[in-house]
Amino acid sequence: MQKPLAPSPAPGTGPTPAKKPTRRCAEVCLELLCVECVRLFHDKQSGPAAAAALEAIGYRVGQQLVERYTRDKPLLGDTLEIIKFVCKDFWQALFKKQVDNLKTNHRGVYVLQRTSYCPPPSPCPHPDMYPNTPSRHLAASRSRAAATPFLCPHADTYPNTRPAPPVHPPPRQGVYVLQDNGFRWLQRLAGPPPPGAGAGADPGREEAARQLALRYLHLPCGLVRGALGHLGVACTVEADPKQLPSCTFTVRIT
């Protein structure tokens, strides 16, 4: 006796195919890679050459990352909107948090103004405009208009007209200050204070840690500059670790 066939499953109720695992990298691997890059470049080169090489690497990586993060987003608007995107989305993707504070002295006010206005010259009369005027008068008018050059009216011609103020070029530079009170890449450099030491007990140790932190900030400066440059904002980025792990990034629009 044949067994009855099992009913076929309804569409959409079958076993769910296994999802392809997402490729991820441990955060400690990224930190060790950054540490090794800084050590390698400072061992081979010294001074500004090592800083320029690290910033160039960060610049290229920042361009590629911001292209990936903005692929599915609408087009960003002005410079302030781009800066806010970097402070929120880009910072969150890189350092697992947003910027704590953003300050700016940029004033995006642009005034288009002419110093003087010259009305266009009156056209020569056409015969169709004045059908009752003799043609010899129109010909004489055209000849006088051709012989007399058009001059812009002088200020004495219109004494009640106030002269236009001089034109000032629009502001081309702006400064944005990004404050991160717990920069992730500097938390291990800060470390706990030695036992029995109060706040500010060893200025030499703090200065040594600050100088060491400056080496590790060339790469993130390049990341920020590359991201902004790819979004159309040419700038320079400087970092200042005043009190570890706090760090201030100054973005100057060029």
114-127 pLDDT per residue, tens: 333 344 444 444 55
- Judge whether residue 110 has pLDDT over 50: no
Average pLDDT, the chain: 75
Q: Give the pLDDT of residue 229.
A: 95
Q: How many domains does the chain have?
A: 1
Instruction: Examine residue 98 and state whether it is found in any structural domain, yes or no.
Output: yes
Instruction: Examine residue 89 and state whether it is found in any structural domain, yes or no.
Output: yes
Instruction: Examine residue 157 and state whether it is found in any structural domain, yes or no.
Output: no
61-93 pLDDT per residue, tens: 999 999 999 998 888 888 889 999 999 999 999
Between the CA atoms of 103, 221, 234 and 47, what dihedral angle is there, to the nearest 10 degrees?
A: 120
Q: How many CB atoms lie within 10 A of CB 169?
A: 7
**Total residue length of the chain:** 254
For the full predicted model, state whether its pTM sits above 0.85.
no
For a pLDDT cut of 90, what percent of the chain falls above it?
36
Instruction: Examine residue 5 and state whether it is found in any structural domain, yes or no.
Output: no
CATH number of residue 51's parent domain: 3.30.1380.20
Between the CA atoms of 151, 157, 159 and 161, what dihedral angle is there, to the nearest 10 degrees?
A: -40
- Judge whether residue 108 has pLDDT over 80: no
Give the pLDDT mean for 209-213. 90
Q: Where in the sequence is the domain holding 222, given as residue range(s)? A: 27-111+167-193+204-253
| Among 145-149, 185-189, 211-215, the least confident range | 145-149
Q: Give the pLDDT of residue 57.
A: 95
- Judge whether residue 233 has pLDDT over 80: yes
Q: Sign of the CA dihedral 227, 231, 234, 238?
A: negative
Instruction: Examine residue 45 and state whether it is found in any structural domain, yes or no.
Output: yes
